[in-house]
Amino acid sequence: MCGRVAQFGTFREIVELLRWPGPAEERQQAEARYNIPPQSPLRLLHVEGDSLVQDLVRWGWKPHWAKDNRLPSNARLEGVAHSSYWRAIWPHRAIAPIDGWFEWVKDEADPKKKLPFYIRRADGQPCLAATIGQYPSGTQDAREHDGCAIVTDEALGGLVDVHDRRPVVLPPDLVAEWLDPSTPAERAEQMLLHQGEPAEAFEWYRVSTEVNSSAHKGPQLIRRLE
């Protein structure tokens, strides 16, 4: 987890959901997308001053000193707050507003095949996925090492049947505190460990194998298979 996500809600809807008290700027707009793979631009919310800002940031990041070619798109909660790998971006907290994500389960009839499932909040709200990253500020252009990673944790409850990992999704009333640069690192870690949305907040269902290819686009990819 998580290897593909959907982002189709509007910036205005997110601002209203968060009841953001200050200015909000959609600095980079994005069309609705239903099958976003890693290394693609991801809509990301972060704070500059007292403003909530939306940018498009590459989904994937590695420290400048890393020698391999990996560009991880997810950061495991178990080590994100204390790992030297993530140290540079751990203080730079953001939210990836994803409407849902995809996971694949082996087909019991044919183990060589994998069946895609779409996972979303049962109440229809966007999933406010805790994210860390390196991104431009103000009028800066995107830089070579800009990128982000979604924080993931072990799956619980019925989600284990779909995949053993899940994004850490924060409730709307905690987002402002998570994004606030003055929130102590220890408090931010505790939010991830203990205050993410529980498994009961989500639902999942089978979708078309069209989503297996990131070349396929459109809302038909998240339609429930009867």
Weakly modelled stretches of the chain, pLDDT under 50: none
Three-state DSSP at 211 gives: helix
pLDDT at 1: 59
pLDDT at 107: 81
Domain residues for the domain of 27 are 4-222
Active-site residue set:
2, 103
Cβ neighbours of residue 15 closer than 8 Å, sequence gap 6 or more: 24, 52
pLDDT at 140: 64
Backbone angles phi, psi at 59, to 5 degrees: -85, 95
pLDDT at 158: 66
Q: Crossing angle for the helix pair 172-179 and 185-194, nearest 10 degrees?
A: 150
Indicate which CATH number applies to the domain containing 135.
3.90.1680.10
Task: Report how many domains make up the chain.
Answer: 1
pLDDT at 226: 77
**0.85 exceeded by pTM:** yes
